[in-house]
Every structure is written in C-alpha cells, then in structure tokens.
Structure 1
Amino acid sequence: MKPLRVTLCAAALLLAFGPVQAAVPAPAKGKVSAAVADAAGKRFLQLADEYYDAIARFEPVGATENGDNRFDDQIGMAIAPAERARQYARYRQYQKRLNAIDRRALVRSDQINYDVLAFELKTLLSLEPYPSHLLPISQMDSLPITLANFAGGEASQPLGTVKQYEAYLNRLTQLPGWIDQAIVNMKEGMRTGVTQPKAIMISALPQFQKLVSATPEQSIYYTPITKMPASFGAADKARLTAAYRKTIGTRLMPALTRLATFLEQQYVPACRTSTGLADVPNGPAWYQARVADSTTTDLTPEQIHAIGLKEVARIQGEFARLGPKLGYDGAPAGLPVWVSQQPRFFPFKTEEQVQAEYHKLNDLLDTKLPSMFTLLPKAKLDLRLEPELSRDTASDHYTAPAADGSRPGVFWSVVTDPKKYGNTGMTTLFLHEGKPGHHFHIALMQELGLPNFRKFGGNTAFTEGWALYAETLGREMGLFEDPAQYFGHLNDELLRATRLVVDTGMHAKGWTREQTIQYMKDTLGYDAVAKSETERYMAWPGQALAYKIGALKIMELRQRAQAKLGDKFSLPAFHEQVLGDGTLPLSLLEAKIDHWIVQQQAAGR
C-alpha cells in the first residue's frame, strides 16, 4: 500500500476539532443558512472528487496500488516536466477554490475532510521546487519493476477477465514511452547534479538487466498469457496471446534493452559517490521537506536523531533484562545473533506449518481483540502464502480489500525456505500487517463513506504508526509472556528506532553509507539487513522516519488520555477515536484526541 504523501501545514490551519493548542472548537462567527450549507457541501465534495481524480490520473499505478482499479489501463506520465507543471498548476487552482468555500458551512465530517485537503494541498505545493522527477528509478521503486510484479495477477492489479488482460496490456504498450522519458530525465539529472547515489544504482542494475529477455515468451510481462483462465473463449485467447507477444517483442523489449544499456554504460558511471540527499543542489531543504512529508510533523532532523538515540538505548536496556530469560548471558547487542543460531526458534519443516501457526494466532486474536475494539472493519482478512513468482523479492505484507468488496484484505507470508523461517517475530509481524494493524485501519477506510481522496489516500505516519502501535498491544493481550515472542517484538522495534538515527545521520549529519552500515551492524547485532536497509534509506530519504514517529505520537496521545481521564478512560473508545475518522495527519489527530479528552471530562462532571 502506497499512501499519498502529505506533510505539515501551517499552524494557522483551522481544525475540525479546534486549534491544536486548544481543546475545544473555535466558535463560529455566525450561523449559516441551510441553503448556504447545502451549496457549500456540494461545492466541497465536487472539489474533493476532482482533486482525487486528478491525482489518480497523474499517478494511476499508485491508484491501483491503493485499491482504486478505475485507471488500471493507464500508467500516466508524472515524470514528464510539462505534465508535472500542469499538475502543480491544478493543485494551486484547487487550493484557491478550497479557500473560497466557507468552512463553517460544512458538516463536521466535511470540516475534517476540508482540513485534510488543505493540509495535503499545502504539502504537495511545498514539494514543487524539488526535482524528484529527475530520480525516476532506484532499487526500491520504478514503474518497470512495479508492472513486472503485477504480471502474476496476485498483486493490486487484477488479471481475471478479458477486460483486465486488455488493461494490463495497455499499460505495457505505454511503458516504452515512460522508459524513454525516464532516460531523458536522468540525463538532465546528470547535467545538473541530481543523480542517485552510485551504490544503490549498482544494486538496482541487475533488476533491469533481468527484465530483458531473448523472446517475448520468456519475459515476466508475458506471465498473464501463461496463466490465462480456461473460461476465456478461443478467439480471445488467440487475440490476447498475439497482442502480448507483439507488444513485448517489438516495443517493450527494445525499450527495456535501451534502459539497461543506458544505466550500465552512462548513468551508473555518472552517479554521485556521496550518500545523503544533502549533497545534491538544495539538498538540505529538500530533505527537511521530505521529513515533514513523511512524519506530518514539524520535527527537525536533529530532533528526530535525538529521539532515535533515546529509543535505541531504551530497547537495548530491555534486551539486557530479557536475555537471561532466554538462556543468554552475553552483551545485549549480541542477543539477536544468538537467537538466530538457536534451532528451537526455527521449528518449521513445511510452508503449511508456517501458515498453520499464523492461523492459530489469528484465531487467538479473535478472542482477545473484542475487549480492545468496538469499531471493526466488515471486510474479512485472508491469510495466504506469497506466490512463488515474487517470493524471492517480497517480504511479509498486507494488501487492502477491494473497494467493491470483491476481494478481502490479505496477509501474505513469504516463505522461501520454511526451515529458515524463524518463529520469534511472527506475533508482532501479524499484529502489524494483519490485525489489529493494517487490516483494522486500511480495511475500515473503505467502509467509512469517505471521499475518494481519503479512502484511497492517507499518510505513512498514521498508517505505519498505527501498525507499530498495534504491535505493542500484544503485551497487554499476554502474547509476549513468551520471552521469545517478546524478543521478536523488541527486535523489530529496535530496527524502527535505528532508522531514526541512520536516516537523519545520512541525510542531515553527513554519515557515509559505510558508517551507516556499521552503525546498524553494531546496534542491531547482526548484519543481514544492514546493507539493504541502508540503501533503502538512501533511495527514499525520510520515508522510514514515519513508522516510529507515528507510533510514538499515538502512544503519547493514549498516555495523555489515560492520565487526564483516569478511571473514565476506555481503551476501545480511544481506539475508535483514533480510527473512526480515517487517516489523519498527526497534528489533526492530536487536536481530535485533545478535544475528545475535554468532552469526556465534561461528561463525567
């Protein structure tokens, strides 16, 4: 799931829940007539729909990934400078139209939607000066790889009908044009000093070389033809097979060959040898904008770095207390490596055994969660194994249910070798990716009657912050009484805390790639992910900050509510407040919870 990226608005933003520093809504300056209210509501909802459709058409693959399948036959050309300029002009026009709507005339739900839209538009416009379109490809993110991952029909793009096969084929037809534009952009980046770090492009290069095949039939993009449903008629089968073979062979393969050759011979040699975003033109300001975008706060990189160091120290202290309970008496930093060497933590022989353990956990949570939640999604959660096609490159993850209810939410477990699938992290992983993490939040978003820009959008700080917060509920449910499962929880938490240190270290404090990798090895106690994680943060500056910052904010708000409400505090009611209006920027969430606390205090007097 790739939520829309948003950042912090000005402090003067009016909030549906009152100003951030105040606990009650500001009084309206005058009553609004029913006719004015009705007209304002219609104008706002029309604007909101136009805004979302503009985003979905600008980045239709992102819409597909967010569960909106209306534009599955388009890839868009968001990286083209002219189209990018037109899109930002649209944002400015939407902002002007939004400011002309009397917010007081809107019902409460639309006041919230108004504030979120104002927040998003300000965010999007704040990113305009920074030429992200000159960096269209990395080892983490590119359109050719995304469409290749769609080819199996198990991802966000459905491939079960003739129309859906035609939609995917139409995307393949458009991909060569995108590739050629990407090459033009990267050449401009080479000229202006806006390139990817060389290290991550060396890692990325094999991905693009593997996309080139000797024949269309050997291409990963031909996969839909190899899995064509038996229900398709003979004429459709023949037509689609010929069309896929021609498009891949005569258009797509030459374009992919051009891309792989350009990357190897021109781009990688010209890439910068530095690590952080601060080393490109206007880099420090660009990174600060991305930090705000990712966290939906006004925290500085220096503040986040300090938070990370504090969290790392706290979790390492927990390791020191936990080690002896597992039979380990060494230094805390050595605990993860020791656990990875204990056969008892790798009990599986088959992938079915791994799945059975997740099903057992799912059943247990069905008995535990009703005491914590009264607001639940209607959509079911399926547990499935990652298909073999993508198993080598995927990690355990969640995909959202279809907006029309045609498919459930799915927790995908990735089991490449069951004998190497450790069980210590399974509980915290399922709490995060399954329930009450992503499923309770993302599936519910489809059911709240929100405008499309909110149903299919959002922000990473709330989305991933909620999922990390959901992990902590395992302790209250007694799921971490097993020291091995508590270790798995802490181990994952330590990684998220370490991200705060190294992301800001690389992009704001001048850390090198090698220095970052070493810090991760020293802090996490193992080096299995140090290189790949470091290069992820190099490719996506600021993105990994959202997880821990979001979780810390939700926990802070819960602790504040508990302290102020005492015996009147209700955990299910708190969770309903957090989730009940959908994804919110953290400043809006804080204002909402503060207002709720005041309401609860008043009700108890």
Structure 2
Amino acid sequence: MKHRYALGTLAASLLFAYAPLTQAAAAVPGAPVKTSAPQAQRQLAQLADQYYDAQARFEPINATESGDNRFDDQLGSAIVPAARIKHFAQYRQFQKRLHAIKRAQLSQHDQINYDILDYELASALSFERFPEYLLPLNQMDSMPVTLANYAGGEASQPLTTVKQYNAYLSRLDQLPGWIDQAIANMRVGMQKGVVLPKALIESALPQFKKLVSATAQDSVYYTPVKNLPAGFSDADKQQLTQAYTAVIQDKLMPALQRLATFMENDYLPAGRTSSGWSALPDGAAWYQARVAASTTTDMTPEQIHAIGLKEVARIQEQYAIVGPKMGYTGPAAGLPVWVSQQEKYRPFKTEQEVLDVYRKLNVLLDSKLPALFTLVPKAPLDLRLEPELSRDTAADHYTAPAADGSRPGVFWSVVTDPKLYGDTGMTTLFLHEGKPGHHFHLALVQEMDLPNFRRFGGNNAFTEGWALYAETLGKEMGLFDDPAQYFGHLNDEMLRAVRLVVDTGLHTKGWTREQTIKYMRDTLGYDAVAKSETERYMAWPGQALGYKIGSLKIVELRQRAQAALGDKFSLPKFHEVVLSDGTLPLKLLEAKVDRWIAAQK
C-alpha cells in the first residue's frame, strides 16, 4: 500500500508515558456496552473534528491522499516556520481541552477515540523540537512531483469536473510560493548543518530538471488541459486552457527553474557525505521520535536491529528447507537469484493471464476465509491492472472503497511486461494487498462509525503490520503447500526483515549508503531494489520499520491468546478482536487483546 509519510503531524509516537494508553479501552466484542455522558461526548466529537480539520488544512496533500477531497485546492503551510509555530501551539490547546474532558464519563467506543487522540497529539508534539521543515523535499517526496503525479487524474486528486479542474489549478498557482519557501528553508538548513545527503540530492535533481519545460503546452502540469472532458462547455474549456497556460508559463516554469538551479549549484555542493540521521544536530533523538512514530512502540533502534538480524537468520533457515524442494542445491542465500533465473517461474504471455491467476486466487480465498473470519467488510474487492500512465513508477497497491459504497476496494496489480512477471510471489502479494490484508482492514474502517481523524488517519504499524500478518495465513489455508509459493512468501518477508537491520544500521550505527546497499544485495540475493530501497530509508528514517514490528506484535498476541485460552481459543474471534475497532496504536491493541483473554477466562 502506498503511504505518504507525513513529517511530524500524522506521525504517531511518544513513549506511552501517560496513563490512558496503559489502561486503554478498546472495545472487547461481547463486553457490556456503556453510553457516554452527552456533554463529554459532544466535547470530544467537536474537538476530534477540529483537530482533524486543523491537520488537513496544515497538510492538505495528506487529506487528498487519504480520500478526503475537501481541501484539494490548497497546498497548506506545513513548511512555513511561523505557521508551524502556530500549529504546534494549537496542538497544545487541543491537548489541554482533551484532558479537561472526563474520560470516565465516555463509552468504551468514545474512550478509544479519546485515547488515540491523546496519543496522536502527544506524538505530534514530540516532533516540535526537530526542524523537519528544513528538509522540505527529497527524491521520495516533494510537492512539485506529487502535483505532477496528480496531473493525469488517475491519482488521489480527481479531475472530472470544472470545480476539480479549478482546485488543481489553484494548487499549481500556489506551488511557486511553496518552492520559494522550500529554497529559503534549505538555505537555513545549509547554515545549521541540516541538509540531505549528497546521494539523495543527486537522485532528486533529475526529477526537478525534468519538470522544467520550454512551453506551457510541453509541461506535465498541462496534462489536464489535454484531457478536457467532452462534456465541458466551450466557455469552460477556453477559460481553463487560458488560465492553465498563464499560471504554468508565467509563474510555475520560472519557479521550477529556480528550484533546479538552486539544487544543482547551491544545495548539491552543501550536501552531506554522511548517510544517517545521527549525523544531524540532535539526530539520535530525532530518529528515536521517528522510530516511535512508525512502530507506535517505545522500542529502541538497538532492539529493532537485533530483531531484524534474528528474523533474517530464521528466514534463511527456511530457504535451506524450501530450496531443495524447488530443485535448488546451492547455498541458502543464493536461492532468490536462482529462482529469478528460472524460466518456469515466468509463465505469462499476456496481462490477462496474470489477472486470471489473481481472479482464481480470489475465488479460492472466498471458500477458505470463512473458517478464519467472521468479521468481513460488506464492500466487494475488485482486481484491476495499474493504468499504463503510472505503471512504470507504481508499486502494487490497494485503494479503499468509497464510504458511500459507490466504489469497491481495488487491488491494483502492476504488470509492466507479462513475460518478465514472476509467479512465485503472487499468493503472498494478494494476501497482503487484497484479502484478508488491506481489504479486510481498510474497507472495514470505512464501514465503522469513526471520527474523521481516524477514518482518514491511522498508523503504519497496524496497517502494514496487519497486511504482513495476513500473508502468514497462507500457510494456515494450505496456499503455501506449493514450495514456489512458500518461497515467494519468504522472499517478501526477507525484505521486511532486512529493513529492520539496515534502517537502524544507517541511522544509529553509522552504516554508509554503500555498506547498506552491499548488505541488501548479499542478504536478499538480488540487487534490483538495493539502491532505491537504501535511499528510501535514508530519506524516510524509520518509515519502513512499522511493517515487521506490527506483524510480529500481532503474531505475539495470537500466540499469547492461544497459550492462555487453550481449547477456548477461537482464531476468527481473535481476528475480530484485532480488527473490530479500526486502526489502533500497538499498545492499545495489546491492552485490548489482554482484556479479551481475561474476559474469555
């Protein structure tokens, strides 16, 4: 699943040093229902809405990415220093108002909302001391590239009505101001030693150069004009064409040229030679805040590094077992390369053949999942090929259904060349991106009565942790009896385990970019992603840790429940406990499962 990593505001961290989280009241299925006192409920609902809207206005791109299109005409002020100070002051006010609400007067459902809001506010405030705004862009994430990706109308910002065309145009009109602010911030960063590594600037620079065009008509931002819907009136078409041309030609192109020139002539020479966050001022604490945000735990980077090494060793032992079953007799670490060289694991000639395998798998899962799940979303799951326009840059992903039921959940499969499409990873990919992974979690969230900050928010550790846990259920359902599919599962798991090692290695152990790339190549056995993944972790410290940490926590809670309950343990019921309150920080999830175990006893 694609997730923007919001710099600080949507990050969920802080180290659980306050009471509500340790006694958190995630509802346990079957427990008696208590109603909220009207005044406390009203205060909480109002505060939750104001908190979410403040966030969405501060970083409207995040709202757009999450399916909230109310702010599609705004870019927000997240990188403006004065606005940032004001925003954090607002967070403190929200926190004060929240703590004035009597939590004991709330129902269990509302207590969950209270606890998550308390958690998110403390989390956001934990980033106040770190100058995230001095690093406003990188090769993974920048406003000019995000808006360029929206231009085709296939992404999160819809482009089908005149109003939507004007909203996107409004964003383009604000982009030059954003660019000038970003340059000003980076100049301050150069003085303070808060700059990107040279390697990342080199990776980002071609993107920004590519966005500069000789004429408005050659610009990627002009794409909406080339795709004007036939149903628009001639007057609207003429007005939009003129407006887009003027904004792109007179304002946007000069600003993009300023950015490319600055990046090449000023910023690149000032780039740092170090790779990790610990090289920045206050970098160790900054990285720890990022780790807490991504994992929703108080684990240290050292603990996570050790878990990663242990998981890598465990998966390599499994390689040694599955390799011979596939006809491979070499060293365990060489299995992935060998598989990639076998023609028999690339059986496809057409895109349709790839899609047919996923459709068949979908039908098979419909017969197997009822034994594992009683709580399932009402929304159907559709299987589609990624549109050609974004195929070269996209990864397989899932989009949640529309809350009003007008659009199903969709698993988007990226097939650039069917003849090169390997089939060993298809089962595990579908379990993750389709069902019971993202679809069983995110489609259910859409059907729940949740405040906006929870419907459109969430955290990586639960979201990706659940999807990664869902992959392991393939074994339970007999889907990995085929050694090739089991290898595909292990291969995906290995990447997630390696991330724990290299992310913490880079940012706390002084690993260099080159050392990290080598470790990834040696351990994964293939180098297709080693450079791009390493640079992703350099740009987004901690972001990739949530997947494996979340998955391991769910596995641990399941084992705890099985050991405690014995014959009384029900796997469908356990899954209901995990999913029935939407996305939770892991500490809240753990408290909820523990209470369920106690209630069953």
Preserved contact between residue 462 and residue 586 of structure 1 (Cα < 8 Å): yes
Q: Deviations over 1:419-444 (max 9, x none)?
A: 11111111111111111111111121
Q: For the residues of structure 1 that align with 2:409 and 2:222, how far apart are their CA atoms?
A: 27
Unaligned runs of 5+ in 1: 24-31
- Is 1:234 the counterpart of 2:234? The answer is yes
In the other structure, the counterpart of 1:247 is 247
TM (norm. structure 1) is 0.95
Once the two structures are TM-superposed, the CA of residue 186 in structure 1 deviates from its matched residue by 0.7
SS in 2 for 1:503: helix
Structure 2 residue identity aligned to 1:236: D
In the other structure, the counterpart of 1:526 is 526
Q: For the residues of structure 2 that align with 1:261 and 1:430, how far apart are their CA atoms?
A: 43
Correspondence list, 1:63-142, <5 A:
63-142=63-142
Structure 2 residue identity aligned to 1:347: P
Q: Deviations over 1:366-401 (max 9, x none)?
A: 222122112122222222221222211111111222
Q: For the residues of structure 1 that align with 2:426 and 2:203, how far apart are their CA atoms?
A: 29
Preserved contact between residue 516 and residue 534 of structure 1 (Cα < 8 Å): yes
Once the two structures are TM-superposed, the CA of residue 16 in structure 1 deviates from its matched residue by 8.6
Q: Deviations over 1:260-317 (max 9, x none)?
A: 1111111111110101000010101111111111101111010000000000000000
Q: Deviations over 1:461-486 (max 9, x none)?
A: 00110010011111111111111111
Unaligned runs of 5+ in 2: 29-33
Q: Compared with structure 1, are the counterparts of its residues 151 and 406 closer, same or farther at alpha carbon in structure 2 (3 Å cutoff)?
A: farther
Preserved contact between residue 44 and residue 101 of structure 1 (Cα < 8 Å): yes
- Is 1:5 the counterpart of 2:11? The answer is yes
Correspondence list, 1:36-47, <5 A:
37-47=37-47
Preserved contact between residue 17 and residue 595 of structure 1 (Cα < 8 Å): no
Preserved contact between residue 183 and residue 262 of structure 2 (Cα < 8 Å): yes
Preserved contact between residue 431 and residue 467 of structure 1 (Cα < 8 Å): yes
In the other structure, the counterpart of 1:384 is 384
Preserved contact between residue 354 and residue 418 of structure 1 (Cα < 8 Å): yes
RMSD over equivalenced CA pairs, Å: 1.6
Once the two structures are TM-superposed, the CA of residue 15 in structure 1 deviates from its matched residue by 4.3
Quick check: 167-176 or 87-96, which moved more? 167-176
SS in 1 for 2:138: coil
Q: Compared with structure 1, are the counterparts of its residues 470 and 8 closer, same or farther at alpha carbon in structure 2 (3 Å cutoff)?
A: farther
Preserved contact between residue 216 and residue 245 of structure 1 (Cα < 8 Å): yes
Once the two structures are TM-superposed, the CA of residue 244 in structure 1 deviates from its matched residue by 1.4
In the other structure, the counterpart of 2:319 is 319
Q: For the residues of structure 2 that align with 1:157 and 1:377, how far apart are their CA atoms?
A: 25
Once the two structures are TM-superposed, the CA of residue 196 in structure 1 deviates from its matched residue by 0.7
In the other structure, the counterpart of 2:20 is 14
SS in 2 for 1:327: coil
Q: Compared with structure 1, are the counterparts of its residues 359 and 227 closer, same or farther at alpha carbon in structure 2 (3 Å cutoff)?
A: farther
SS in 2 for 1:349: coil
Q: Compared with structure 1, are the counterparts of its residues 75 and 568 closer, same or farther at alpha carbon in structure 2 (3 Å cutoff)?
A: same
In the other structure, the counterpart of 2:415 is 415
Q: Compared with structure 1, are the counterparts of its residues 299 and 16 closer, same or farther at alpha carbon in structure 2 (3 Å cutoff)?
A: closer
In the other structure, the counterpart of 2:453 is 453
SS in 1 for 2:398: strand
Task: Tell me the number of residue pairs that the alignment of Structure 1 and Structure 2 aligns.
Answer: 589
In the other structure, the counterpart of 1:176 is 176
Q: For the residues of structure 1 that align with 2:177 and 2:400, how far apart are their CA atoms?
A: 30
Q: Which aligned runs of 4 or more in structure 1 are off by greater than 4 angstroms?
A: 15-20
In the other structure, the counterpart of 1:283 is 283
Q: For the residues of structure 2 that align with 1:151 and 1:16, how far apart are their CA atoms?
A: 45
In the other structure, the counterpart of 1:186 is 186
In the other structure, the counterpart of 1:268 is 268
In the other structure, the counterpart of 1:28 is none
Once the two structures are TM-superposed, the CA of residue 17 in structure 1 deviates from its matched residue by 5.4
SS in 1 for 2:19: coil
Preserved contact between residue 18 and residue 595 of structure 1 (Cα < 8 Å): no
Preserved contact between residue 24 and residue 111 of structure 2 (Cα < 8 Å): no
Q: For the residues of structure 1 that align with 2:237 and 2:547, how far apart are their CA atoms?
A: 45
SS in 2 for 1:446: helix
Structure 2 residue identity aligned to 1:164: Q
Preserved contact between residue 16 and residue 115 of structure 1 (Cα < 8 Å): no
Once the two structures are TM-superposed, the CA of residue 13 in structure 1 deviates from its matched residue by 2.1
Structure 2 residue identity aligned to 1:434: G
Preserved contact between residue 21 and residue 119 of structure 2 (Cα < 8 Å): no
Q: For the residues of structure 2 that align with 1:178 and 1:409, how far apart are their CA atoms?
A: 34
Preserved contact between residue 385 and residue 415 of structure 1 (Cα < 8 Å): yes
SS in 1 for 2:584: coil
Q: For the residues of structure 1 that align with 2:425 and 2:558, how far apart are their CA atoms?
A: 25
Once the two structures are TM-superposed, the CA of residue 19 in structure 1 deviates from its matched residue by 8.7
Once the two structures are TM-superposed, the CA of residue 354 in structure 1 deviates from its matched residue by 1.5
Q: Deviations over 1:494-552 (max 9, x none)?
A: 01000000110110011111111111111111111111111110000111111100000
Q: Deviations over 1:69-91 (max 9, x none)?
A: 11111111210101111110000
Once the two structures are TM-superposed, the CA of residue 18 in structure 1 deviates from its matched residue by 5.0
Q: For the residues of structure 2 that align with 1:122 and 1:554, how far apart are their CA atoms?
A: 24
Structure 2 residue identity aligned to 1:62: N
In the other structure, the counterpart of 1:27 is none
Once the two structures are TM-superposed, the CA of residue 9 in structure 1 deviates from its matched residue by 4.1
Q: Compared with structure 1, are the counterparts of its residues 19 and 445 closer, same or farther at alpha carbon in structure 2 (3 Å cutoff)?
A: closer
Quick check: 219-228 or 318-327, which moved more? 219-228
